[in-house]
Amino acid sequence: MTTGIREWLLEGEHKRASQLSGDGREQARERDHPWWKVMCLTGVGYFSTLGYQPGIAAVAAGVLSPLATIVLVVLTLAGALPIYRRVAAESPHGQGSLAMLAKLLSRWKGKLLVLALLGFAATDFVITITLSAADAAEHAVENPFVPGFLHGQNMLLTLVLIALLGLVFLRGFAEAIGVAVVLVGLYLALNLVVVVDALVHVFRSPHVIVDWKNLLVTQHGSVWAMVGVSLVVFPKLALGLSGFETGVSVMPLVRGGGGDPLRGRIGNTRKLLTTAALVMSCFLITSSFATTVLIPQAEFEAGGSASGRALAYLAHGYLGNAFGTVYDVSTIAILWFAGASAMAGLLNLVPRYLPRYGMAPSWAAATRPLVIVISVIAFVITWIFDASVDAQGGAYATGVLVLISSAALAVTLSAWQRGRRGAFAAYAVITVVFVYTTCANIVERPDGVKIAAFFIAAIILTSLVSRATRSLELRVERVELDAAARRIVDKAVRGGHIRLIANEPDARDEAEYRDKLREAEENLHIPHDCVPIFLEVTISDASDFQSTLHVRGEKRQDFRILRVKSPSIANAIAAILLHLRDETGIRPHIYFSWTEGNPFKFLVRYLFSGDGDVPPVTREVLRRAEPDPARRPLVHVG
């Protein structure tokens, strides 16, 4: 019974690991789609925020909501959009801004930064699931046709929706672009009807505008005061910026076309991002204005009829309960599907990075264990926030803003490296604005940082434990020998044996190699009648986990040498020995000298710097990679 459950949970683990360990080119071979259809896939998360954004804006900014929303739209079109158009050009395989930062900031500092950003990305996606489910429940319980016993049962309905989402993914879920197109098309059409009808009522009743203006003047005095307050409060509306990171992550699904498919994909992704931003900006401004002037401010507060459902309030109030119910159903559907999109994003994002760093347990490559973990976390967060849409807005905005700020930083650093000083200055200004917005949101509502800190701590702790437990597995993808290296190996094969001396290169002169050979003959008892090969491994980037070894051969004086760079000396030596055995049919011998020093210190050095006490680690890697002692390359230490 237990074995059957384990097999079911880990089904597809190895296939999924191979698909997600690369840079996104696996996904690029999937069937592509027109950019506008892929926009609908990202739009189930982006456009669905219309279900709660106007209400959250009204609570955060009050009667200044339309002005604060205009500031948000300016930041969207003049800040986030240019940033992500650049990200699309630099990560055409869907790696996103996290991969850009990983390349720009190499070694451990880059890896740790990516792990931290993964924590904020997890916050973004998990809160998308919980916030969307909570708002879907809000729309359901406030519908007049819903049975009375469900009124006030927001928590129960939210948990049920999250559980249903988890069950769907446990059975297996494929992103259905066709379903997304229908949902987004219907939802935007219904929102257009609601907004246009609301604006018609506004202009037929000019007194509501007059009342709104009087209230603005009463509360804020002057236009400059209104602008100043709007600039201060607009970070609270920042969840309306969501969708850009998802837009670039789905790039492999965008059809390229033309003579250069990759360039065509970049161009079409930019169309996707621009169109989505323009459509959303129009809806944000018009919906914020209509809901602010037509709905009493008290209705936006917790327990009010417009709390978390401002546009639904107008739909029922001005277009009737029948139309309002259709609007509620479409809203519930797209919000639920937004949760599905977020779940799919997490299931692709986390395995894409962590296995490449050696920082994912083996079960992280399987979908079902991750689904269970994510669902449990979503339950806990829903309970913490009491299924409140308004309460989760700050945490959601924090995740969104940190990702956008990191993207702005990545693009800024990239512009500097490419020598584009004008672009660097412009992107630097945008980065400063987003950093300010992020900090202001964190200070005002620190819940997002608390949740992100939990995710970051959990990811880093799990990653380091995984890195330690997987450090002794063979983690070389392939070994490639150049022509000179092949000639050296072929000559050794003709002699009937392959004997290598591990050498830490120093001066690399004749004296160094003669001393090393004499030491091997005296202390390691290497046969005097053989001509050994010196194997020299130098550390490349020790923070990398998997690598391809490019072995170069050379001859210095009368000595034959194989040279290679690798994140780990012991792992590289073990991989080369196994490769030589498989290519030649001869069991190679490797000769080491013992390393003097504290074994614990060497263990730590091996984990983080790739060297340490090489002989025993090499032998252990070989033992795990080749369980048959009769076929295992031989390790000699003296």
User: 247 vs 635, which has greater pLDDT?
Assistant: 635
| Residue 28 clears pLDDT 50, i.e. is over it | no
Average pLDDT taken over every residue of the chain: 80
CB 513 within 8 A of CB 557: yes
The pLDDT tens digits for 40-83 are 888 887 888 888 788 888 887 888 888 888 888 888 899 889 99
* Token pair of 311 as six digits: 């546009």
Mean pLDDT throughout 247-260? 77
| Residue 26 clears pLDDT 50, i.e. is over it | no
DSSP secondary structure letters along 311-374:
HHHHHHHHHHHHHHHHHHHHHHHHHHHHHHHHHHHHHHHHHHHGGGGT-S-GGGGSHHHHHHHH
SS (H, E, C) 559-587: EEEEEEEECCHHHHHHHHHHHHHHHHCCC
| Residue 203 clears pLDDT 80, i.e. is over it | yes
CB 56 within 8 A of CB 242: no
The pLDDT tens digits for 328-378 are 899 888 888 887 777 777 776 666 666 666 555 555 556 677 788 888 888
| Residue 607 clears pLDDT 60, i.e. is over it | no
| Residue 252 clears pLDDT 60, i.e. is over it | yes
Q: Return the pLDDT at 319.
A: 92
CA distance 45 to 339: 8
Mean pLDDT throughout 95-111? 71
User: 274 vs 233, which has greater pLDDT?
Assistant: 274
Torsions phi, psi of 92, nearest 5?
Answer: -65, -10
The pLDDT tens digits for 310-330 are 898 999 989 999 999 999 899
Q: Return the pLDDT at 21.
A: 47
Q: Return the pLDDT at 22.
A: 46
Q: Return the pLDDT at 283.
A: 94
Model's pTM, two decimal places?
Answer: 0.72
Mean pLDDT throughout 460-470? 70
3-state secondary structure of 549: strand
Torsions phi, psi of 587, nearest 5?
Answer: -75, 115
User: Which of 53-67, 237-251, 499-513, 621-635 has the least mean pLDDT?
Assistant: 237-251
Angle at 149 between CA 147 and CA 153, to 5 degrees: 110
The pLDDT tens digits for 207-242 are 888 888 888 878 777 777 777 777 777 777 766 667
The pLDDT tens digits for 408-450 are 988 998 888 888 888 899 999 999 988 888 888 788 778 777 7
| Residue 15 clears pLDDT 90, i.e. is over it | no
Using CA atoms of 307, 344, 284, 221 in order, give the dihedral in degrees to the nearest 10. 60
Phi-psi region of 84 (alpha: psi -120 to 50; beta: other; left: phi over 0): alpha
Q: Residue 536 is inside which H or E element, if any?
A: strand 533-539
Q: Return the pLDDT at 358.
A: 58
Q: Return the pLDDT at 199.
A: 93
CB 52 within 8 A of CB 308: yes
The pLDDT tens digits for 180-197 are 888 899 999 999 999 999
CA distance 566 to 564: 7
